[in-house]
Structure 1
Amino acid sequence: MSHPTGDVQAFEAHAPEAELDDLRARLAAARLPEAETVLGAPPGPGRWDQGVPLADLTDLVTYWRTAYDWRAFESRLDAIGQFRTTIDGLGIHFLHRRSTRPDATPLLMTHGWPGSVAEFTDVVDELAEPSDPSAPAFHLVIPSLPGFGHSDKPATTGWGTEKIAAAWVELMQRLDYPTFLAHGGDWGGNITTVLAGRFPQHVRGIHTTFAEGLPNASTAGLTPTEAQWASDTHHFWHHRAAYAKQQATRPQTIGYSLVDSPVGLLAWILDKFADWSDTKDSPFERIPRDRILDDVTLYWLTRSGASAARIYYESHNSLAPDLRVDVPTAITIYPRDIEKYPRPWSAQRYRNIVRWNSPDVGGHFPSLEVPATFVEDLREGITAVLNA
């Protein structure tokens, strides 16, 4: 990894008021389709079968236009600490919160799609400064993936998970963290796996909610629960993953809608929060609507709908079959996540699993859905990793 500059600059994001006025005007002028043809009163089964219901979207668009407070989210990011640095010619944005605890351990946390650094803002304080003095504390580094948020948009191909992982190692070195722990889910879990497999001299251990097994793993010998997980994952990729195929093959095409229409962007992302969360009807059963709008508005104001989608083009099905992870690994499988790999499958890749956990609640966005459970589970997983 080249080292063109070691400069790390403090960063503040303050969207011009004109940008927010433009957003509100576009929301007010939105052209909406007719209602879905699977009508039903909430929480009727199948209400979301054709995607985001018109009534739900209309309510959220009105709230976004008239009541949502973007400035509060900007203030939260500034309070955590925002920075940028340039790695391999690309500007990388990241949050950096140092703990006051002398025994704190560096922890790199990587988000996925359709997430962002917004996924972790509600758990930063408790992870850095635990209310329980006996709980582990962390120096937190939370980067925005290339093409996401306030990171630069790559102008050429090549910024896949392998290059991102190498960039994260460089980032941690610049922050004087020669060795560190890593956590991630979704694309962040994939990148965390690459970090551990390619850079074990820097990565002390990992915690992940995404532990992809090897291709063509056998279902022989699986428990009934594990067999159901395998069946659910297969069903997801064959019946609910059209978004991934679109973004992996034609990200530019969908990108025009995502960058030009805030309602289109909201629907594209809200659909995933609804389908992938541990809820019966609406994602707002667990995730506050302001948190979803923090994420969506960040995509909107940074015009990153197309550039973020390209991570699928760069990295879809790219986790190397021969990649093995030997560092201590804690794996958590939330019950309503979209990909759940049986432990025998994961163990073929992660060969030093020191903790395996499956909580009772939670889906693909645990830090937003069940933040207290997420924090406790992450602490216990990291403790097992450190003890190993």
Structure 2
Amino acid sequence: MTDGILPAEPIHVPEEVLADLRARLRAVRWPDELPDTGGVWGPGVDRMKRLCARWADGYDWGATEARVNQWPQYRTVIDGQDIHFFWLRSTEPNPIPLLLTHGWPGSVMEFLEVAAPLVAPGEHGAAGRPTFDLVIPSLPGYGWSAPPRARGWTLSRVARAWAALMARLGYDRFGAQGGDLGAMVSARLALHAPERMLGLHLTMAVVPHATGEITAQEQADLDDVARFVKYGTTYQATHCLSSQTVGYALNDSPAGLAAWILDKFDRWTDSPQDAFAAVPLDRVLDNLTLYWVTGTIASSMRLYAESRLADDLGPTRGRVEVPTGVALYPREIYRFPRSWIEAAFNLVHYRRMARGGHFAAMEEPDLFVADVRDFFGRLLRPA
């Protein structure tokens, strides 16, 4: 085994933890609600009752646990922080090392449907397409990566840790892919170690205001972004200012945790107010259960607070020269004009996707896989 890398124990959630979860879900004290609000203030009680009933008495965490345990998993300590990651190595020729970074309120569960096609395209009807070695870490304080025990874990610090992780695994050069906070980490990684980066693929490119011609469609995108910033970012303020306060409630009530996260799935998927039409209910429950059984909702939100305090949340400081590909999904929360992205990144691949939203790998796994393959395949094709 590579120095500093240790095999992780298979994931196993004790039955008493799951029994406690089910008991809490069966004893929710439901709030009142006004009629005909249409989810504008958050998930309605009927939707939440449906979710909690399924979570308590129909959902099979054991099946998901078994599925995840098929992925080789490891632990390492970088800069004093325990990091858990999956490392899926292809058996096909010339795999491209690719680091996949999730965001919030997602997790490594975002990649359940896309990992196998990327690692083994020949087994998924795509013989001859690019194949990848995947490294899929949990952000510090998320999932099976332990909560940081000291201050200062910002997006840039995570990026530096990811560079160290890839070096520890023996990858001199590699690609990176990310959305949400994972996109911000990946962009900072490209600034930190550009000489090691084969390419950068993003599903959410956050950039400063720039000049340049924009199309009518791009102006409509900017209008949506303006509405999101005005009406849809209260969660960011809460995470940055009161993550510990709200953490008590969300870590104690699975219904509260579910409502906080389902609200984002409802608003940010390509199926407004009905996330389950875009992401199957059980896949949403996979993600929720990971947060619950690891008790990491409060520590996950602290990444916002730490990064905001360090002025390290949002666009990168400096242009990214690593060849960059952007897949722009129609319901992504931040959709900036191509000319603005070109001012911030060395953009060599740009595609407006036909459908999908913020949780691209969960909503549209086939489109996600195809675009990642196209970007890296064309980027690395011999001249």
Letter paired with 1:35: E
Q: Kindly indicate whether the alpha-carbon contact (under 8 Å) linking 2:210 and 2:343 is maintained by their aligned counterparts in 1.
A: no
Partner of 1:333: 328
In 2: Cα distance, 1:320 partner to 1:380 partner:
25
Provide the identity percentage: 42
Partner of 2:259: 267
- Relative to structure 1, the CA distance from residue 263 to residue 170 in structure 2 (aligned partners, 3 Å threshold; closer, same or farther) is same
Give 1:71 deviation, angstroms: 0.9
Letter paired with 1:120: F
In 1: Cα distance, 2:116 partner to 2:302 partner:
32
Partner of 2:204: 210
Partner of 1:367: 361
TM-score, normalised relative to structure 2: 0.95
Is 1:162 paired with 2:123? no
- Relative to structure 1, the CA distance from residue 280 to residue 187 in structure 2 (aligned partners, 3 Å threshold; closer, same or farther) is closer
Q: Gapped runs of 5+ residues in structure 1?
A: 40-46
Residue 20 (structure 1) aligned to one of 4, 18, 21: 18
RMSD: 1.4
In 2: Cα distance, 1:354 partner to 1:134 partner:
22
Is 1:256 paired with 2:248? yes
In 1: Cα distance, 2:141 partner to 2:280 partner:
25
Partner of 2:61: 70
Which SS does the other structure have where 1:328 is aligned? strand
Which SS does the other structure have where 1:250 is aligned? helix
Give 1:251 deviation, angstroms: 0.7
Partner of 1:311: 303
Regions of 4+ moved over 3 Å: 319-322
Residue 50 (structure 2) aligned to one of 50, 59, 83: 59
Partner of 2:185: 191
Q: Kindly indicate whether the alpha-carbon contact (under 8 Å) linking 1:354 and 1:384 is maintained by their aligned counterparts in 2.
A: no
Which SS does the other structure have where 1:13 is aligned? coil
Q: Kindly indicate whether the alpha-carbon contact (under 8 Å) linking 1:38 and 1:49 is maintained by their aligned counterparts in 2.
A: no
Alignment deviations for residues 327-383 of structure 1 (CA, whole Å, 9 cap, x no partner): 111111100111101111111110x21110011100001111111111111111222
Name the stretch that deviates more: 319-328 or 373-382. 319-328
Alignment deviations for residues 49-88 of structure 1 (CA, whole Å, 9 cap, x no partner): 1110110100110010001111111111110122111111
For these two proteins, the number of residue pairs brought into alignment is 374
Q: Kindly indicate whether the alpha-carbon contact (under 8 Å) linking 1:97 and 1:128 is maintained by their aligned counterparts in 2.
A: yes
Is 1:94 paired with 2:88? no
Partner of 1:11: 9
Give 1:280 deviation, angstroms: 4.3
**Correspondences of 1:33-182 after superposition (within 5 Å):** 33-39=31-37, 47-130=38-121, 131=124, 132-182=126-176
Letter paired with 1:183: Q
Give 1:321 deviation, angstroms: 5.4
In 2: Cα distance, 1:83 partner to 1:321 partner:
30
Give 1:315 deviation, angstroms: 1.9
Which SS does the other structure have where 1:193 is aligned? helix
Partner of 1:299: 291
Q: Kindly indicate whether the alpha-carbon contact (under 8 Å) linking 2:175 and 2:197 is maintained by their aligned counterparts in 1.
A: yes
Which SS does the other structure have where 1:95 is aligned? strand
Partner of 1:42: none
Partner of 1:344: 339
In 2: Cα distance, 1:262 partner to 1:24 partner:
9
Q: Kindly indicate whether the alpha-carbon contact (under 8 Å) linking 2:5 and 2:74 is maintained by their aligned counterparts in 1.
A: no
Letter paired with 1:25: A
Give 1:217 deviation, angstroms: 2.8
Q: Kindly indicate whether the alpha-carbon contact (under 8 Å) linking 2:266 and 2:272 is maintained by their aligned counterparts in 1.
A: no
In 1: Cα distance, 2:241 partner to 2:66 partner:
37
In 1: Cα distance, 2:379 partner to 2:176 partner:
11
Q: Gapped runs of 5+ residues in structure 2?
A: none
In 1: Cα distance, 2:17 partner to 2:373 partner:
39
Partner of 2:214: 222
